[in-house]
Amino acid sequence: MGDHRATAKVRVNGAPAEATLFCTDPPGAANGGGGDGGELRWRCAGGAAAERVLSLDADVLGVEARGKEVVVKAFVLPADAAARSVSCAAGAGKGGGGRRRRRRDYVFEMAAGEDAAAAWCDRMRGSLDSLGRPKRLFILVNPFGGKKCGKKIYEAEIKPLFEAAGVNVTMQETRYQGHARQVASSLDLARYDGIVCVSGDGVLVEVVNGILQRMDWEEAMKIPIGVVPAGTGNGMAKSLLHSASKTYSVPNAVFAIIRGYSQSLDVCTIVQGRKKFFSVLNMTWGLVADIDIESEKYRWMGSARFDFYALVRIMNLRKYYGSIQYVPAPGYEAYGDVVKQVENCTVECQEQIGKSLCSYQGPSVEFQGSEWRSLDGPFVSIWINNVQWAAESIMAAPGAKFSDGYMDAVIVRDCPKADLLALLMKMGDGSHVKSPYVTYLKVRCLRLSPGQLVENPKRGGIIDVDGEAIARGEGTYGKNQKQDVMGYGPSIQMTVHRALATMVASSILCLYWVFGYTCRM
């Protein structure tokens, strides 16, 4: 690894200073490898003010040469002592406490003239390029999600950051439900270094499902997918930022995409006969599903609709007959009853007319030799999670990991209304799973056999996957509005494929987003 240091007399935003540029050549830099890129330090003349340091990786978006000036386009924590001091330059570093990063330009006027400015600019660009940051992104913006602010958020907060980082973007708005899936199924992925979803979790789910229906799914799934929160739930964006101890915000999500670190993600295959659906977040049945789907009529309330309708449902609590069978993760074998005989469930490649290849059909695993266990209802709620956060304020499964090969099941079979309300109020920090009324499991595979409402045997429930109803029983909300993906009643199996997808994350502990996605996690 080579180290390069250069020192020069400059004026930083008009103030005289001495600056030092320290660049590193990370291992594998020529192949799009990773490293810290180096740093830029300066101190005002006179030495009274503290030294200011910008990490090229953690603080810098891009750099531009303008004559004898080098403009460093940064995304920094203002007035943060822990972030290595306050700028001495006139007007820089003032105002704004807290941990929210802000866009700021630092203009370095080189005393040695234009050649020195060009040399410093080239050196910093080379260091940034060696980090493997994306250069070309395809962005899907959902203008209908949440409070319908997706396009506004893109123009005001997202586009300027990508422009400052020199990222070439192709933006397309989604026009209808399922549009993102269609786009992802036919997009020329060779033209892009990644796909970015500006939405709630719905567009991400569609993109994953679209990629997995491609004939080249195995190669296509290597492309990194980024998420910028602009919807109602935003569970994936929250989970990614929380895992890296980053503040949940649109700019932080965008900067994570620009920096280009990546995180493997499990994908769950949901099967009923020959019907299948792919999930990246969760599957719910009972209370949580009813709140999510039936509160659609109050979408104008934003995320407050969930809190409001949760109170409505608790006051008129429902329980459902049914059962679940599952293969427990190590350490969870004591829960439930042993199942002596389990019918094997496999999915074979369906015939593709005119094609010899097959789209993704689910993980090729067999569970005949595994010990299955079961739990019988009635149930208040069954909640199967792939990531920690179901929404920006709901930590559904505090023990969930992105790529451990397991799903985290949160099961409530019986709970007094007062305790249930208290339980829901603890979901902000995940402490609800400590309730004696909650059974918390990690499972490799799970089958749900949904039954009828205890209070009304003629009425079924709703099975909700990643915010969309895939099956509805008789008499449920929206039953006659559209044809669901699956039927209500026959068992539905959910199986994990470990680390199938690649998400953009914020943590330096994650792998780098490799330019051209030539490497696989």
Residue 442 pLDDT class (50, 70, 90 cuts): very high
For residue 482, is pLDDT > 80? no
Beta bridge partners of 17: 10, 44
- Measured between alpha carbons, how far is 128 from 24 in angstroms, rounded to an integer? 10
Residues 6+ positions from 110 with CB-CB distance below 8 Å: 8, 10, 68, 69, 70, 116, 117, 120
- pLDDT grade, residue 299 (50/70/90)? confident
250-259 helix and 235-243 helix, angle to the nearest 10 degrees: 70
Report the pLDDT value the prediction gives residue 231, as an integer from 0 to 100.
85
Q: Which position has the token pair 């997706």? A: 150
Query: What's the CA gap between 465 and 485, in Å, rounded?
Result: 11
The model's pLDDT over 210-249, given as tens digits with 9 standing for 90+, comes to: 999 999 999 999 999 999 999 888 999 999 999 988 899 9
How far, in Å, CA of 64 to CA of 67, rounded?
Answer: 10
Return the exposure string of 155-182: e unless at least 16 CB atoms fall within 10 Å of the residue's CB, then b. eebbbbbbebbbbebebeebeeeebbbe
Distance from C-alpha of 295 to C-alpha of 297, rounded to nearest angstrom: 5
* The predicted structure's pLDDT at residue 505: 78
What span, in angstroms and rounded, lies between the C-alpha atoms of 470 and 78? 46
Mean pLDDT over 149-171 rounds to 95
Question: What confidence score (pLDDT) does residue 356 get?
Answer: 41
Taking the C-alpha atoms of residue 311 and residue 297, their distance in angstroms, rounded to an integer, is 15
CA–CA gap between residue 347 and residue 172 (Å, rounded)? 34
Residue 92: closest CA among 8, 12, 19: 12
pLDDT of residue 164 exceeding 60, the answer is yes
- Per-residue pLDDT at 283: 97
Query: pLDDT grade, residue 29 (50/70/90)?
Result: very low
Sheet holding 60-66, edge to edge: 52-55, 38-44, 15-24, 3-12, 102-110, 69-76, 60-66
Mean pLDDT of all residues in the chain?
A: 86
pTM above 0.95, yes or no: no
For the annotated catalytic residues, the residue numbers are 201
pLDDT for res 47: 56
Fold annotation for 3-79+101-131 = PH-domain like (2.30.29)
Residue 399 is classified by DSSP as T
Please compute the mean of the pLDDT values over residues 192-196 and round it to a whole number.
97
What CATH number matches the domain at 280-339+367-498, 3.40.630.10, 2.60.200.40, 1.10.150.530, 3.10.129.10? 2.60.200.40
Q: What CATH superfamily classification does 136-261 receive?
A: Probable inorganic polyphosphate/atp-NAD kinase; domain 1 (3.40.50.10330)
State whether residue 262 is helix, strand or coil: strand
The whole-number pLDDT of residue 25 equals 60
pLDDT digits (tens, 9 = 90+) for 244-294: 888 999 999 999 999 988 899 999 999 999 899 999 999 999 999 999 999
Distance of alpha carbon 244 from alpha carbon 198, whole angstroms: 20
In DSSP notation, 194-258 reads: EEEEEESSHHHHHHHHHHHTSTTHHHHTTS-EEEEE-SS-BHHHHHHHHHTT----HHHHHHHHH
| In the chain, where the domains are located | 3-79+101-131, 136-261, 280-339+367-498
Give tens-digit pLDDT for 30-56: 333 445 679 999 987 765 567 899 999
